[in-house]
Amino acid sequence: MFASNCFQKKETVVAHILDDLKKEVESANEIAVERMMQSAPFWTDINLAKRLIPNMKDAMLLHAGPPVEWKDMSGPLRGAIIGACLYESWAKTKEEAERLASSGEIEFDSCHNHQSVGPMAGVISPSMPVYEVTDTKYGAKSFSNLNEGLGKVLRYGAFDQETIQKLNWMKGTMMPVLSQALRDLKKERGGLDFKSLIAQAITMGDECHNRYNATTALFVRELAPYLVKCDFDKEEVAQTLRFIRDNNFTTLNLGMASAKAMTMAAHGIKYSTIVTTMARNGTETGIRVSGLGDSWFTARAPSVSGVYFPGFGREDANPDIGDSAITETAGFGGFAMAAAPAIISWVGARSASVATEMTQRMYQITFAEHRYFSIPSLDFRGTPTGIDIRKVVKTGITPNINTGIAHKQAGVGQIGAGLVVLPMDLFKKALRAFASRYLN
């Protein structure tokens, strides 16, 4: 009955879903969002991707966003793929890497199909170190790569020698150092309670997508007593601590893996209209919905409105890319902007009131207010949590995401940061599928 023309009758469809299935949907969403909030992600391991990530194969590269083939990949994603081939020693030059990538010998897959997430290009290769996060409430595991900091980095599509050297240092030094500290911390506390860190950081000016200053400082505060007791060469431990000190984004990837665990807990609830994935591969943006299994609903990746580094402008920018919108999916990041007025200049907003308005607007499209993430300046109101595709379509308001901006060409890197609004089409497609599935 809701055939191809159903969105000529958008209100009718929404009304149907709201009316006929209201009870089922409401109670499914109640369960989904409750699970999202009760999920308790702890950082529990760090090791090579091939040792931790489920179904990671020897000749496989994971990437951000919905699945995409080499021929359709945007510049920064191609750049990161090239870099990963060089890092894995599968190729010696850019050209060799491109030939390999287009040959079909490497399997590409979405991080999300492997319980994983990666910022920007989000490329994870078998020999890259990844964090493992365990949902100590519901048991699921999620994964993310390590953050390389700012400058020329793989996640923004850079693949020069400096980029690869840093990745090698992360594997050879940072990973084993963090691993040993975590091992000892885990003995005492079962892992690092990352949900608690996010909750604290949201009272400390982080929104935990584009600003992780407090989270990273708290991370060091928690880890330092274990790091000093490492058996490693002291200079290697100090190197690791200096790298973290100089990179406030260190904890972004752990925040994203935590958000992935939270949203996985909310996924697969029959009748639920709650969004459990939002991700972009630089070509397309895709979402998944709790009650709609593993289907992706996709649309062309939008452009980002923001501020550019000197010498770059809108014409250099790649469309929106990265898995980091998982933070907004879990009720923080751009949705917690009111907690992070210090970020406004970074994303190009003109006044702190913009931050508050962004959060206020997101309450209109979410199902709940977070039990654990609360915003001091809003009198500790919980962050808007659990995007409801019904509300998005009904209000015409789509989620606001904070993000970085990558150059559209492979090899250049980050050129700015800003805000992006996801296309309405994603949510219409999802609602249409929901109608097909549950109203027939």
User: What tokens appear for 438 in the block?
Assistant: 């549950």
Part in contact with a copy of itself (CB under 8 A); list of ranges 86-94, 220-228, 329-337, 421-429: 220-228
The 285-304 site mask, x for binding a copy of itself (CB under 8 A), equals --------------------
Give yes or no for residue 358 binding a copy of itself (CB under 8 A): no
Among positions 27, 221, 294, 395, the unique one binding a copy of itself when judged by CB under 8 A: 221
Q: How far is the CB of 202 from a copy of itself (least distance, A)?
A: 9
**How far, in Å, CA of 194 to CA of 256, rounded?**
10
Residue 227 or 392: the one with the smaller Cβ distance to a copy of itself is 227
Would you count residue 342 as binding a copy of itself (CB under 8 A)?
yes
User: Does 397 contact a copy of itself by CB under 8 A?
Assistant: no
What is the 3-state composition of the chain as percent helix, strand, coil, each rounded to the nearest 5?
50, 20, 30
Q: Give the nearest distance from C-beta 222 to a copy of itself in angstroms.
A: 7
Q: Which stretch binds a copy of itself (CB under 8 A): 1-9, 156-164, 378-386, 426-434?
A: 378-386
CB nearer to a copy of itself: pick between 315 and 380: 380
Cα distances from 164 to residues 106, 126, 253, 420, in angstroms, run: 19, 15, 19, 30
Q: How far is the CB of 184 from a copy of itself (least distance, A)?
A: 10
Here's the x/- map for a copy of itself, 154-183, by CB under 8 A: it reads as ------------------------------
With CB under 8 A as the contact rule, which of the stretches 152-160, 231-239, 267-275, 426-434 interacts with a copy of itself?
Answer: 231-239
Minimum CB distance to a copy of itself smaller for 219 or for 434: 219
For residue 97, how far is the Cα from the chain centroid?
A: 26
Q: What are phi and psi of 166, to 5 degrees?
A: -65, -40
* Closest-CA residue to 277 (of 123, 66, 69, 429): 66
Choices 125-133, 254-262, 282-290, 377-385; region in contact with a copy of itself by CB under 8 A:
377-385
> What is the distance between the alpha carbons of residues 417 and 411, in angstroms, rounded to a whole number?
18
Among residue numbers 186 through 215, which ones bind a copy of itself (CB under 8 A)?
Answer: 200, 203-206, 213-214
Instruction: Read off the amino acid at residue 36.
Output: M
> What CA–CA distance (Å, rounded) separates 403 from 321?
8
Work out whether 376 is an interface residue with a copy of itself (CB under 8 A): yes
Any contact of residue 149 with a copy of itself (CB under 8 A)?
no
* φ, ψ of residue 369 in degrees (nearest 5): -110, 135
Q: Considering the complex, state which of residue 220 and residue 424 has its C-beta at the smaller distance from a copy of itself.
A: 220
Task: Report how far residue 268's alpha carbon sits from residue 264's, in angstroms, rounded to the nearest whole number.
Answer: 8
Which residue from 225, 293, 313, 396 is in contact with a copy of itself, where contact means CB under 8 A? 225
Name the segment binding a copy of itself (CB under 8 A); options: 65-73, 266-274, 286-294, 375-383. 375-383
Return d(Cα 401, Cα 403) in angstroms, integer.
6
Amino acid in position 162: E
Q: Tell me the one-letter amino acid at 330.
A: A
Q: By rule CB under 8 A, what count of residues binds a copy of itself? A: 40
Residue 7: DSSP 8-state:
G
| Cα–Cα distance for residue pair 163/351, rounded to 1 Å | 35
Residue 324, token pair as written in the block: 């980091």
Residue 241 in the binding site for a copy of itself (CB under 8 A):
yes
Measured at the alpha carbon of residue 119, what is the angle toward residues 245 and 28, in degrees to the nearest 5? 120
292 close to 231: Cβ distance less than 8 angstroms? no
Contact (Cβ atoms closer than 8 angstroms) between residue 293 and residue 268 = yes
For a copy of itself, the closer CB: 341 or 399? 341
Residue 234 within binding range of a copy of itself, rule CB under 8 A = yes
Which CB, 205 or 348, lies closer to a copy of itself?
Answer: 205
In angstroms, the CA 158 to CA 140 distance is 32
245 lies in the site for a copy of itself, by CB under 8 A? yes
Q: Identify which of residues 59 and 228 has a Cβ nearer to a copy of itself in the complex.
A: 228
CA torsion, points 246, 247, 250, 256, in degrees to nearest 10? 160
Residues 6+ apart with CB under 8 A from 203: 339, 374, 376
Tokens at 255, concatenated: 């925040």
Q: Which is nearer to a copy of itself, 6 or 175 (CB)?
A: 175
Point out which span in 54-62, 338-346, 403-411, 412-420 binds a copy of itself (CB under 8 A): 338-346
Contact residues for a copy of itself (CB under 8 A)?
200, 203-206, 213-214, 216-218, 220-222, 224-230, 234-235, 237-238, 241-242, 244-245, 340-342, 344-345, 351-352, 376-380
